[in-house]
Amino acid sequence: MNYTNLIQWIITWLSCFFSQFFCIAADWINTVIEEVMLGVLGAIALIPLPDALANFTWPDAGPLGAALLACDIPQALSIIVGAFTVRFLKGLIPMIRS
């Protein structure tokens, strides 16, 4: 009797089972966490806000703000900040050359 094929089949089956099991378990845990967070956010939304926060409006930037928006300054600043962030994160990765 050749038990090699049987043992190989059992090992393959177990590896497939556990990989699928952990994927399903991780998905289920993410779903539970999401539902809990939605419940918490829904409960927070029931808290009444003070009048100062309920009627808050952003101050008007005036003509300078309109000029900056017309020149696409916010988009340019976001591109620059993104470039600096990438450069900073790349600096955190140690480069090892062999």
The residue written with tokens 């043992």 in the block is 7
What are 1-37's pLDDT values in tens digits?
A: 577 888 898 999 999 988 899 999 999 999 999 999 9
The residue written with tokens 């994927």 in the block is 23
Continuous H helices in the chain: 4-45, 51-54, 62-70, 73-92
* Domain locations along the chain: 4-92
What are 32-63's pLDDT values in tens digits?
A: 999 999 999 999 888 887 777 777 787 888 88
**pTM surpassing 0.75?**
no
